[in-house]
Amino acid sequence: MSIAESLLELIEESGRHQGFSRVRTVGVKVGALGHVEPAALAFCFGAVSKGSVAEGANLTLTVVPGEGWCERCRHTIPLAERYAPCPTCGDHVRLTAGEELRLAELEVE
C-alpha cells in the first residue's frame, strides 16, 4: 500500500508542477526480481487513487526481466533469481536489471 501511495504522491506532485488535472494512463516498470507484486500494486493503486487526479487511470505495469553481468565471462545473462551464479562459469553475477520500480510514463489531460 505504501508503494502505491508513494506513486500517487509522485503523480500529484507532477500535476502541480506541470499543471495537468487528470491522469488517463500510468505506466510503471516493475522488476521481476524486485519486491513488488504487480497484482498487489494494481489493487492498491486503485484504492489509493480514489478522489485524486489519477482516479480511474489505466495502470499499465511492465515487468522487467532479471539480467546480470558476469565479470569473468564478460557477458550479460538472463536471471530468474537473485544471486544466481553464471550458468557458464559459475562465478558471481552482478544484477543489472530486474529490481526497478519506476514511473515510466503518464498520459494526462
**CATH placement of domain 2-108:** 3.30.2320.80
Which spans in the chain are helix H? 2-18, 38-48
The whole model's pTM is what?
A: 0.86
Cα dihedral 34, 40, 43, 49 sign? negative
Asked if residues 31 and 64 have their Cβ atoms less than 8 Å apart, the reply is yes
Taking only the tens place, the pLDDT of each residue in 43-97 is 999 999 999 999 999 999 999 999 999 999 999 999 999 999 999 999 999 999 9
Report helix, strand or coil for 87: coil
Residue 93 DSSP label: E
Radius of gyration, CA atoms only, the chain:
17
C-alpha grid cell, residue 80 = 530468474
